Amino acid sequence: MTNEFYKPSFARTSHERRQAVLDAAIEQFAGHGYAATNINDIAREAGISIGAMYSYFSSKKTLFLTVIEYAYGVMEESLQEVHRASTDVFDYVSRMLAACRYYGENYPMLNQLYLTITTQPAADLSAQLSEKIEATTPGILTELIRKGKQQGIVRADADEQISALCIDNIFMMYQFSFASRYFAERLRVYLGDRVNNSVTLEDAIKEFISAALQE
């Protein structure tokens, strides 16, 4: 485990201790946001001294960026797995909706962290985080839409960048509905009891995207 944010001592410590620190940091940053999180609370939650914490990280910012790097790795692996398995853009949409649900249900704290950092990160980190987190999906989606045009399954006049943005916004809002009561209730306001059946809901979203991309 190596990156540019933590000190070498963090890489040398045991996997169990590293994971304890990451888990505690994820919970604190996800629950309180960057500004309100105290590194002392993370150390206490992880079961280590504050001295040990500062032997691993020079500041709360470097700890936060280490957590983001870890969360990004989990998300990136899932995105690439979906991409590799997809046969075309419509198959990708289907798999991504299922992946958003799986990620939301099985990684609740990471999902909450994703919501937190995309809505209220420290101002000086915003551009860096946006560029890092959103680096993968735009390229995948625009490539699949472009290939869909070549295959004749996507209408020739579809705007690749706008289509990719709108589709990814649907993914994001669906994933956030598993982390935020506001977004969950927002879905319910629009869809009523349909939100209780993920298969029906995801099928309806797929039909909408297919209609938007096809003749």
What confidence tens digit (pLDDT) does each residue in 106-149 have? 888 888 888 877 765 554 565 566 666 667 788 899 999 999 99
| Cβ atoms of 158 and 147 closer than 8 Å | no
| DSSP notation for 51-101 | HHHHHH-SSHHHHHHHHHHHHHHHHHHHHHHHHHH-SSHHHHHHHHHHHHH
Does this model's pTM top 0.75? My answer is yes
pLDDT band at 152 (very low <50, low <70, confident <90, very high): very high
Give which of 111, 69, 12, 54 is closest to 46, Cα–Cα. Answer: 54
pLDDT digits (tens, 9 = 90+) for 56-90: 999 998 998 898 888 888 888 888 899 999 999 99
pLDDT digits (tens, 9 = 90+) for 20-60: 999 999 999 988 888 889 999 999 999 999 999 999 999 99
Architecture of domain 8-213: Orthogonal Bundle (1.10)
Look-up of token digits 């989606």: 141
Give which of 30, 9, 29, 31 is closest to 18, Cα–Cα. Answer: 9
Supply the angle between the helices 60-85 and 126-133 in degrees, to the nearest 10. 20
Domain ranges across the chain: 8-213
Query: Given this model, what pLDDT does residue 121 score?
Result: 54
**Distance between start and end Cα atoms, the chain:** 48
Give which of 178, 66, 182, 172 is closest to 129, Cα–Cα. Answer: 66
Look-up of token digits 């500062």: 54
Interatomic CA distance for residues 27 and 83, integer angstroms: 29
Query: Given this model, what pLDDT does residue 117 score?
Result: 73
Residue 114 CA from chain centroid, whole number: 5
Interatomic CA distance for residues 78 and 83, integer angstroms: 9
